[in-house]
Structure 1
Amino acid sequence: MMPNTRRDTTPNASHKQPALPVIDLRDFTCLDRRRDFLATLRHAARDVGFFYLVGHGIDDTLIQQIWEVSRRFFALPQAEKNAISMVNSPHFRGYTQLGHELTRGVPDRREQIDIGAELPALDLSSNDPAWMRLQGPNQWPVRLPELREVTLEWSATLRSVAIRLLRAFSVALEQPEEALDGLIDKAPAQLLKLIRYPGSHQAHERQGVGPHKDAGILTLLLQDEHPGLQVKRNDEWLDVPPRLGALVVNIGEILELATNGYLRATVHRVLVPDAGVTRYSIGYFLSPCLEGSVPLLPLPEHSPKDALGPESDPNNPLFREIGPNALKGRLRSHPDVTERFYPEFLL
């Protein structure tokens, strides 16, 4: 999947100009390329918010395994997938049927399974804040035990890549390399999504995922060969085609908060493919630990003039308190889980 060379190609179009900046993570530890790497990273995160990441070091065998187990999961009988439905989980873990996750109130045409850090549920009282219920175990299909093994290994591998990248961001912002480690040094709150987008020719079924920003720190996305991801830039939608051997990376709202808007989380969406085509993707979301709040980095003197504060959306306010921020997004996206386990938040 990813040769150990500097050459990186787009399937069937190796000479096309890449839609996004291409960043090689190996350059972060290479003294003669580090300065250019940091400048490119800073530009990509501030001006685009998305980039292709190569040189991540993920083993080809693991990439093949995650694709295989993902397709095998979605090929399970519907009843077996429904047996681990997210509506059974107060932790928002498990399977979501087509059209059962909402983006800004509109159903998305995708089915998926959400897998978080494999942790026990906390022993809570009625006086504990509701966001503490987010920690808990995953749900696993009985007839596909390898799903657990492969996805937890994938999550651990992607977490390592994402943390290396997060530390590179700190250095690019002229901060100590460990400046943002406090966001991730407690119980992990990461999320992995295996996603399937069945095609459609109906105009009202084109929303695979509606326009949104990611709520976490960093997102690392593995795409199959079918296009669909789009990034909004200058009020236009830019296609982000698959690129062989590369992950697509975007920054989340937590980095926007931590830099007072110097870095911007970018609006993006996914369009479903045409009828007869199925698109798969695998998204890893590095999220902050649920306890605590988002720090405000002391940016160098030449940066604050470009830090205009995080964007304000009255329909989706951002909180510096991490737990309430995380819960807010899940409640909005999964009203069936909200109704069953968090009825106190229903209007």
Structure 2
Amino acid sequence: MASADYDRMKEVKEFSESKIGVKGLSDSGITSIPRIFIHPPQTLSQLKPTSSSSFSSIHIPVIDLSNLDSPHHRPKIVDQIREASKTWGFFQVINHGVALSVLEETVNAVKSFHDQPHQVKAKISVGEERRGVVYTSNNDLYRSEAATWHDYLQVWMAPQPPEVERMPEICRREVIAWDTHAKKVAETLMELLSEGLGLEPGKFKELTFSDTRLFVGVCYPHCPQPDLTMGLASHTDPTVLTVLLQNHVPGLQVRHGDEWVDVKPVPGGLIINAGDFLQIVSNGEYNSIQHRVIANPCKEPRISIVMFFSLAKWKESDSYGPLPELLSPEKPAIYRNFTKQEYDDNFYSKGLDSKSFIDKIRI
């Protein structure tokens, strides 16, 4: 409940300028969370854990990418990915070609970064939100109604990567390597997603759908009052595709029908989800789905490494919409074309949300 003497913006500014981060708060041993992190009752009332309900038997699809080049297996994998992207918007892939040791090294490097004293992390040269290297807590801290319980390291890997020495030395090698590995996985999946629409396998690559890449290494530390806040608010990703690597600490939930479903990490697996951009260009054949992270009640932090993929080269007219090849009199466009300016302004003008841009351009 708001009170006359509560100045939210002042507290947000003080927290932001302290550079202590959520991990610093957690490590300090606090038993109650600052007021800026407390979410409204309507959000908190939806936080019933799904693990104890009858829906705990529902899981996002797990797709095995082995035998991908087999003429017998590939069409089956294309069908599985198309169906998962249409009905769930999320799936996990196994046998994706990245060694388990690489996954572990990447998670450990990001954890090591977040384990450093906040005074060390605060020295990172903060770039702009849309480029360079950033370490902070909540990208929408000043725009959202309530802060969420996580910190993150963000590195724009392409099309304009930062100077290597600007990346934190403690995880520099692993971040650069992960960019290569995740891009290879994403481009393989984009071929399969393209085939699932009846297009040539190389269509998405030709459209530069993996040429803007953002690395985000997130830490969700222990939260002393997980029933009062969120790890990450419910949202859809605005991009084309997301590749997610995480440790074994749970927390990610996906909206499926009327339920929130726990995503249980599969050892060695990678979690993939469609973004709003993919939903639009596929003319609604693929779906970006709401997901969120509950605040972490465990003593061990949840580490999550997210690679966002989006296009680098807009069409000459600087507008995008459903791909013309997918449209017909029977299947007309359900979204209008939009410009890069519209797309960027929508995301950077507010807190995280779900499909607000898709709703704006729906015909």
Question: How high is the TM-score relative to the length of structure 2?
Answer: 0.71
- Offset at residue 52 of structure 1 (A): 0.7
- Measure the CA separation in 2 of the matches of 1:155 and 1:176: 25
What residue identity is the alignment partner of 1:321? Answer: T
**1:273 corresponds to:** 296
Partner of 2:312, secondary structure, is coil
Q: Counterpart of 2:92 in 1: which secondary structure?
A: strand
Summarize deviations over 1:238-270 as a string: whole Å, max 9, x none: 110111111111001111110111211001001
Q: Distance in 2 between matches of 1:220 and 1:243?
A: 14
What residue is the counterpart of 2:196 in the other structure?
A: 172
Counterpart Cα distance in 1 of 2:134 and 2:96: 29
* Aligned counterparts of 1:241 and 1:303: Cα–Cα separation in 2: 39
Could you tell me which residue of structure 2 aligns to residue 53 of structure 1?
A: 93
Deviations along 1:158-188, one digit per CA (max 9) or x if unpaired, are: 01110110011111111111222233179x3
Task: Give the Cα separation in 2 of the matches to 1:224 and 1:303.
Answer: 45
Across the aligned residues of Structure 1 and Structure 2, the Cα RMSD in angstroms comes to 3.0
Counterpart Cα distance in 2 of 1:287 and 1:96? 21
- State the 1:280 CA deviation: 0.8
After TM superposition, give the deviation of residue 150 of structure 1 in Å: 1.5
Q: CA deviation digits over 1:292-345, x for unaligned, max 9?
A: 3435232387983xx8835xxxxxxx97334542454245359xxxxxxxxxxx
In the alignment, is residue 226 of structure 1 matched against residue 249 of structure 2?
yes
- Shift of the alpha carbon at 1:215? 0.9
Displacement of 1:156: 1.3
Task: Tell whether the 8 Å contact from 1:272 to 1:279 is kept in structure 2 after alignment.
Answer: no
Equivalent runs, 1:1-347 vs 2, <5 Å? 19-84=59-124, 86=126, 88-89=127-128, 91-99=130-138, 101-102=140-141, 105-117=145-157, 135=160, 137=162, 144-184=168-208, 188-203=211-226, 205-274=228-297, 276-289=299-312, 291-292=314-315, 293-294=319-320, 296-297=322-323, 298-299=325-326, 304=331, 309=334, 320-322=338-340, 324-326=342-344, 328-332=346-350
Tell me how far apart the structure 1 counterparts of residues 235 and 64 of structure 2 sit (CA, whole Å): 27
Three-state SS of the structure 1 residue aligned to 2:338 is: coil
Letter in 2 for 1:53: V
Structure 1 range deviating more: 36-45 or 201-210: 201-210
| Counterpart secondary structure, 2:212 | coil
Distance 1:202 1:91, change over 3 A: same
Following the alignment from structure 2 to structure 1, what is the Cα–Cα distance between the partners of residues 174 and 281?
33
Q: Which consecutive residues of structure 1, in runs of 5 or more, have no partner in the other structure? A: 1-15, 120-134, 311-317, 335-347
Q: 1:262–1:309: 8 Å Cα contact kept in structure 2? A: no
- How far apart, CA to CA, are the structure 2 residues paired with 1:25 and 1:189? 24
Cα pair 1:113 1:193 within 8 Å, conserved: yes
- SS where residue 223 of structure 2 aligns? coil
CA distance in 2, matches of 1:148, 1:283: 16
* Partner Cα separation in structure 2 for residue 184 and residue 308 of structure 1: 22
The AA in structure 1 aligned to 2:245 is L
Structure 2 unaligned blocks of 5 or more: 1-55, 353-363
Instruction: Indicate how the Cα distance of structure 1 residues 201 and 79 shifts in structure 2: closer, same or farther if over 3 A, else same.
Output: closer
**Larger deviation: 76-85 or 164-173?**
76-85
Q: Return closer, same or farther for 1:85/1:18 CA change in 2, 3 Å cut-off.
A: farther
Counterparts of 1:333 and 1:275 in 2: how far apart (Å)? 26
Are 1:93 and 1:113, in contact at CA under 8 Å, matched by a contact in 2? no
Q: Secondary structure at the match of 1:245?
A: coil
Query: What CA distance in whole angstroms lies between the structure 2 residues aligned with 1:101 and 1:272?
Result: 17
Distance of aligned partners of 1:151 and 1:329 in 2 relative to their CA distance in 1, 3 Å threshold: same
SS in structure 2 of the partner of residue 227 of structure 1: coil
The structure-2 alpha-carbon separation of the partners of 1:237 and 1:26, relative to structure 1 and needing over 3 Å to count, comes to same
Letter in 2 for 1:116: W
Contact 2:66/2:95 (<8 A) preserved: yes
Contact (CA 8 Å) 2:92, 2:272: kept in 1 or not?
yes
Within 1, Cα distance between the matches of 2:321 and 2:276? 13
> Which ranges of 4 or more aligned residues in structure 1 deviate by more than 6 Å?
300-303
Give yes or no for contact 1:211–1:267 (8 Å, CA) kept in 2: yes
CA displacement at 1:136 relative to structure 2: 5.7
Distance 1:93 1:162, change over 3 A: same
